[in-house]
A and B are shown apart, each in its own frame.
With several copies, the nearest count.
Chain A
Amino acid sequence: MTPEEVAFQDRIDRNEKIEPKEWMPDGYRKTLIRQIGQHAHSEIVGQLPEGNWITRAPTLERKAILLAKVQDEAGHGLYLYSAAETLGVSRDELLEALHAGKMKYSSIFNYPTLTWADMGAVGWLVDGAAIMNQVPLQRTSYGPYSRAMIRICKEESFHQRQGYDIMMKMCAGTPEQKAMAQDALNRFWYPALMMFGPSDKDSVHSAQSMAWRIKMNTNDELRQKFVDQTVPQAKFLGLTVPDPDLQWNEEKGGHDFSEPDWSEFYAVLAGNGPCNAERLGARVKAWDDGAWFREGLMAHAAKHSGGRVAAE
């Protein structure tokens, strides 16, 4: 390590926040750009599975709640792209990388939402898993990222409660509704467990990120925490977690549970999930279809930049 790097690591170890204009190692910057960018992409791609049910929400109130939620996700995307921009990469560059398939988004969004119960399961399990990841990141070393996370976490926990509320209504509803809820849990349980990523005990990459306080916990720690939190919630709903080997382990003070099928994880990551083509296709189409709109606004701003403040 160079003296600069040592000093940088000391600041991190003292829990100081790193701010945009300050010196940082190249690797730190690059890792953050990748991580924040992927997170931002996940927010906007994550609009799609839930967006799929906005026009079919069963009541006006549910429609409004879901729409507000999906809108919040777009807002989270905004915060995060802004945080990434402080590291010297523009939103358009990040989007270009997404559209070209060079940057990823969370694989969970490559699963379809097939019934209204999925709106519950996504809120409960997917937002639940996301929060598990994000809460510690409020204390991450990079200032703008940390502040974005603080705003996002507040809203996410609200979303998770809304999701759980949908599940409660479904489970207290008709037999068909209860069956839908169980089916949604069956389909989203393992994909939710996959959200924490494969076990990272042997990953050098993870170790460096943890030293930099970009990653705050191991994937396995978070997964365990998620299972321990979620299992009693499922019980409360009267639903069965689709894992015959799930049981409480008194000794370790947590549940034993089955690993997800990691070959499925890698398949989805490689582009072979049920909805990869549709999700990326929808984003690319929105971008391409909107080109004339963005260009129109820029042209107008350019024409009038003398007289009035540029609009973009």
Chain B
Amino acid sequence: QPEFTEWLQRVGDNCLILGHRLSEWCGHGPALEEDIAIANQSLDLIGQCQLWLGLAAEVEGRGRSADDLAYLRDVLAFRNVVLVERPNGDFGQTLMRQFLFDAFHLELLRGLESSTDARVADIASKAVKEVAYHLERSADLVIRLGDGTADSHARMQKALDLLFPYTGEMFADDATDRAMANAGIAPLPSTLKPAWDAVVAEVLTAASLTHPGEVWQHGTTGTGGGKRGIHSEHLGYLLAEMQFLQRAYPGATW
């Protein structure tokens, strides 16, 4: 049960934090269509986060709500991978982060559709359609910008090199992951890697981008990594902003 709660927070926090990052673009995108599309993905992710964190709170059984988890945990209690808390950077970095995560996210949700836990399978089958579209879109844009101008190519390559060292954490198995896999609730993260590798390789080739290869992967050795609550310095600032009203006016209804 504690492992299940822990795992649900990982899934939910990824959606929450990435959804939050995307929402920072609202009104500042490079074109109106992009502004709308990014807001849409942000909305999808926030919606998914409400379901996952709602279930996490239910499983936890301590009377907390999804909002309590989102707004009243401090940084050490968050369980998202560091990749999704990376600052937006230029729009290319945002898209690359999105692509690298979407490709993982889709494989995960596909695996979860056959979860032994019906609630998990339900949420996954709702989310999988949204995320399939996210991946379609982010992969398409990575390809078009990678194979665009020299400048757009260089930016996308830089984004890839910058973010790739944060992808390994998504596939690193730990005790919680193994407990979930043994219970048939979720696939073992490492088993999602071959499919992810294939999608990434295909898209990077089409984008004429150079795969960074076997580089250092943060959060996969030692004690670090967002899944274990050891984040980057960026998350604290994000939370200070996100949680301000709930912290400043405890117990108020909005």
Contacts and interface: CB of A to CB of B under 8 A. Distances in A.
Interface string B53-75: 10000000000001100110011
Given A60-B49, A114-B230, A282-B28, A292 B149 contact: yes
A52 interface: yes
A299 B149 contact: yes
Given A261-B222, A295-B148, A60 B32 contact: no
Nearest to B90: A289
A239 interface: no
Nearest to B235: A114
A64 B48 CA distance: 11
B148 A296 contact: yes
A87 to B, nearest CB: 18
A297 B249 contact: no
Contacts of A264: 221-222
Contacts of A287: 30
A62 B245 CA distance: 12
A60 B66 contact: yes
A299 B148 contact: yes
B151 interface: yes
B76 interface: yes
Nearest to A63: B46
A148 to B, nearest CB: 14
B249 A176 contact: yes
A299 B151 CA distance: 11
Nearest to B224: A274
Contacts, number: 194
Interface stretch (A4-12, A74-82, A122-130, A220-228): A74-82
Nearest to B231: A114
Contacts of A293: 30-31, 34, 91-92, 145, 152
B47 A64 contact: yes
Chain A, interface size category, equals 35 or more
Given A289-B30, A290-B30, A169 B253 contact: yes
A298 to B, nearest CB: 8
B152 A71 contact: no
A270 B151 CA distance: 29
Contacts of B151: 292, 295-296
B240 A67 contact: no
Contacts of A52: 233
Interface residues of B, number: 68
Interface in A37-71: 44, 47-48, 51-52, 54-64, 67-68, 70-71
A177 B252 contact: yes
B147 A286 contact: no
If over half of A's interface residues share one DSSP class (helix, strand or loop), that class is named, otherwise mixed; here it is: helix
B216 A292 contact: no
Contacts of B195: none
Residue of A180, A285, A287, A292 with most partner-chain B CB within 10 A:
A292
Contact of A60 (B67, B223, B233): B67
A171 to B, nearest CB: 11
B221 A74 contact: no
Interface in B228-247: 230-233, 236, 240-242, 244-246
Contact of B147 (A176, A290, A300): A300
B242 A56 contact: yes
Interface in B16-59: 16, 20, 23-24, 26-36, 39-40, 42-43, 46-47, 49-50, 53
B74 A286 contact: no
Contacts of B34: 290, 293
A264 B224 CA distance: 11
Contacts of B241: 55-56
A125 to B, nearest CB: 16
B155 interface: yes
Nearest to B54: A60
A174 B91 CA distance: 40
Interface string B159-180: 0001001000000000000000
A180 B109 CA distance: 34
B254 A47 contact: no
B252 A296 contact: no
Interface of B: 16, 20, 23-24, 26-36, 39-40, 42-43, 46-47, 49-50, 53, 66-67, 70-71, 74-76, 90-92, 141, 143-145, 147-149, 151-153, 155, 162, 165, 216, 218, 221-224, 230-233, 236, 240-242, 244-246, 249, 252-254
17 contacts: A47-B26, A62-B254, A71-B26, A71-B40, A115-B236, A187-B223, A261-B222, A263-B221, A267-B216, A286-B30, A287-B30, A290-B91, A292-B90, A292-B149, A296-B148, A297-B141, A300-B148
Interface of A: 44, 47-48, 51-52, 54-64, 67-68, 70-71, 74-75, 77-78, 81, 91, 112-116, 166, 169-170, 172-174, 176-177, 180, 183, 186-187, 261, 263-264, 267, 270, 272, 274-275, 277-278, 282, 285-287, 289-301, 303, 311
Closest 3 CB pairs of A and B: A290-B30, A296-B152, A296-B148
